[in-house]
Structure 1
């Protein structure tokens, strides 16, 4: 792969090539991507979607929106730092093509901002709940009417693929979705493959999948424009866009350190663990006199968190540059932080977070409730749209259909697209709206 292609400013529907040197420096194309994402209704709904603690009533806990904003800030720093080093290493990118270090930062920041935009309500348990509906629930009845890949899309409902759908899906009056630059779309795609075969290799790009069958053609167009390396002759699978590694690193840094911080502020993890487990990561930057001068737990943990994030940013940049050649030829097969000298500390922190936060009674109880909510919504909506399509809708089905948006097409002849549109609708609901719709269906608090 080469950086000239990878930094493509092209957007869906363009008939002329966008030249970097011709860009308006006060309204750069990559920065437009960020603006389009942040003003989208899909991004706005993240303010009421679970990050770790579902439906938390405290101010300490991050939502998907605050998490995404923080990942974007870290991503911008990573991108700018890497961009500066890449321009020193490949000066023609700046001298001939006009790229600047901030371009890399803008691309990574935009892709990082959108990295969770496709996640359904109730966190990762929401993804599992949608899949469970098709594996063991009422949705299993559709298996024989779908292709293997279509069915796998639904059984392994994937927030990353749903995010790509949000960013690129054609809608009436909105062809190409948000019409982001292909460089940003490439950086967004952590798993540039289809749902089958499932995990064909230990390569990080094969861990999950990145697009539904409904977005296959636009994915192929983006991959071709960016010059991504094809990794399989039997299925659609490509190497990652190099900047996807930075988006992933930004996410890894934030959820490792900030989820840990949330757990301490909530009292789920002892404060003493913060200094104990972060000490090696921050040993070169911490000033004990500054730390002990802070009078509140929240300020002390915030100080340690800021130092830890800064240290991991520096290391991620060094790892990227050390392995740039392997990243460009598609042979770098793990996350950047998997090469970190602090890998042991990171794993210890994640282990503590899993035991004390992700598996806490509060989280588990609300994930169970989330399963019930999503199963009820999918059962009710899929029955209504399919009965509507077959002209067998009951009065109740008709009432349900009247309450659904135009994005769910009852007359769509493809069963896969009808089912996908229901999953898409449910995935866009906030936690509170999903519960409200559930209560309406159940006749609760009417």
Structure 2
């Protein structure tokens, strides 16, 4: 596939400090905090970020051992992202002296990656990736979901039949509802997949086209961001990644590979000796079995995890430095962790994790429950909406009660047979996907008469 862009993306534009929602040309200044540190603080105190506290990472929360939620995972990814960004920033400032003249520091570049990494899971629904599949399957396969297809355009239907947490995250970050008004640089670094869901051809060789990063009704928002930062296109429908998005992706890859393994070991799904043997190839000569003597398994596990993450950060920054110019030209489009020296060791960890962790009974039971809960909630609310606007002779007292459970700001007026219901369905998916695991489960029980309020 031929590339459409005419030149190399410029770091001076890629790190411009403008904010989404501010008039173009606004040049904000902060005396005590950089604009990118402001992003981080706004995210930390936002409702969508706090909701990650009760969203599953991999395991249901046990009573006797600590395992990660989406919140703790996101904080750790952000910490790794800050280290990656700061180290990469030092390289960029040395290579491009004009960045220093514009006031950019390595700490600011670290802050961009940290803020974007903090939000990387913010659009994930309850029950993790099973939740994404459950929402997609509802519209693809369930009669109460499929009935909407004839009322929508093909690109809108593609959005609903392939729910994507990354696109949901972008929608939330630019939404006036949450008022985050992040910088364009943070939004772009967040966007690993800078394309819509419905494109004629997907280039499977380009990592950035593996999934999609925004819904069709956010296209103008993405175009605005791309124009401000000077993001180029790789095809008529797809943009190039902001180079810092490669670091955000690497931070996530590093954390879930190493820390999911640590959680699996903590819960007894992977033996301690096997875990050590999986981490040793990453540590290389830093691995000294003698230093493990006289310490508990959890202490050794924590030390090995820290050393492994440090090594992977170092390797990822070196690869970023090697290919940074190719990223800006659009010639490089791979995951950093796929080509670092420890790539084979990470692949082995992934294989063991799939076999012993992600397919463990406790995880599969959680996923099965997630499919049931989300399909059930979507079915109940979707049917009530369809009956009210498209089949009023079937609109029942039950439907009326169900619709009263929707949020007060839910758009319940102005729809009908002649009105495209995409925005209404987007609002329904916003509501369901924004729930915590516990809230979704409790609401599912109540609307299906399994439990009663207060019970």
Bucket of the pairwise TM-score, normalised by the shorter protein: over 0.9
Q: Which consecutive residues of structure 2, in runs of 5 or more, have no partner in the other structure?
A: 1-8
Query: d(CA) in 1 for partners of 2:180 and 2:227?
Result: 19
Alignment of 1:250-289 (within 5 A): 250-289=251-290
Match of 1:222 in 2: 225
Establish whether residue 362 from structure 1 lines up as the match of residue 362 from structure 2: yes
CA root-mean-square deviation = 1.6
Query: d(CA) in 2 for partners of 1:244 and 1:25?
Result: 27
Match of 2:12 in 1: 4
Query: d(CA) in 2 for partners of 1:25 and 1:289?
Result: 50
Query: d(CA) in 1 for partners of 2:99 and 2:400?
Result: 58
Alignment of 1:110-121 (within 5 A): 110-121=115-126
Match of 1:349 in 2: 349
Match of 1:165 in 2: 171
- Judged with a 3 Å threshold, the aligned counterparts in structure 2 of structure 1 residues 412 and 361 are, in CA distance, closer, same or farther, namely farther
Which of these residues, 73, 77, 97, is aligned with residue 79 of structure 2? 73
- 1:144 CA drift (Å): 2.1
TM-score after normalising by structure 1:
0.94
Establish whether residue 204 from structure 1 lines up as the match of residue 210 from structure 2: no
Indicate if the aligned counterparts of 1:112 and 1:250 stay in contact, CA closer than 8 A.
yes
Match of 1:104 in 2: 109
Query: d(CA) in 1 for partners of 2:84 and 2:414?
Result: 44
Indicate if the aligned counterparts of 1:274 and 1:304 stay in contact, CA closer than 8 A.
no
Match of 2:381 in 1: 381
- Tell me which stretches of 4 or more aligned residues in structure 1 moved more than 6 Å: none
Indicate if the aligned counterparts of 1:389 and 1:410 stay in contact, CA closer than 8 A.
no
- 1:375 CA drift (Å): 0.5
Establish whether residue 400 from structure 1 lines up as the match of residue 402 from structure 2: yes
Which of these residues, 420, 428, 432, is aligned with residue 426 of structure 1? 432
- 1:411 CA drift (Å): 1.7
Query: d(CA) in 2 for partners of 1:200 and 1:16?
Result: 33
Query: d(CA) in 2 for partners of 1:122 and 1:373?
Result: 9
Query: d(CA) in 1 for partners of 2:127 and 2:35?
Result: 33
Query: d(CA) in 2 for partners of 1:355 and 1:205?
Result: 27
Indicate if the aligned counterparts of 2:65 and 2:267 stay in contact, CA closer than 8 A.
no
Query: d(CA) in 2 for partners of 1:199 and 1:111?
Result: 25
- Judged with a 3 Å threshold, the aligned counterparts in structure 2 of structure 1 residues 58 and 205 are, in CA distance, closer, same or farther, namely farther
Provide the aligned length of Structure 1 versus Structure 2: 436
Query: d(CA) in 1 for partners of 2:343 and 2:414?
Result: 49
Q: Which consecutive residues of structure 1, in runs of 5 or more, have no partner in the other structure?
A: none
Which of these residues, 132, 148, 156, is aligned with residue 150 of structure 1? 156
Indicate if the aligned counterparts of 1:407 and 1:421 stay in contact, CA closer than 8 A.
no
Match of 2:3 in 1: none
Match of 2:133 in 1: 128
- Judged with a 3 Å threshold, the aligned counterparts in structure 2 of structure 1 residues 10 and 287 are, in CA distance, closer, same or farther, namely same
Query: d(CA) in 1 for partners of 2:389 and 2:42?
Result: 35
Query: d(CA) in 2 for partners of 1:333 and 1:51?
Result: 27
TM-score after normalising by structure 2:
0.93
- Judged with a 3 Å threshold, the aligned counterparts in structure 2 of structure 1 residues 412 and 4 are, in CA distance, closer, same or farther, namely farther
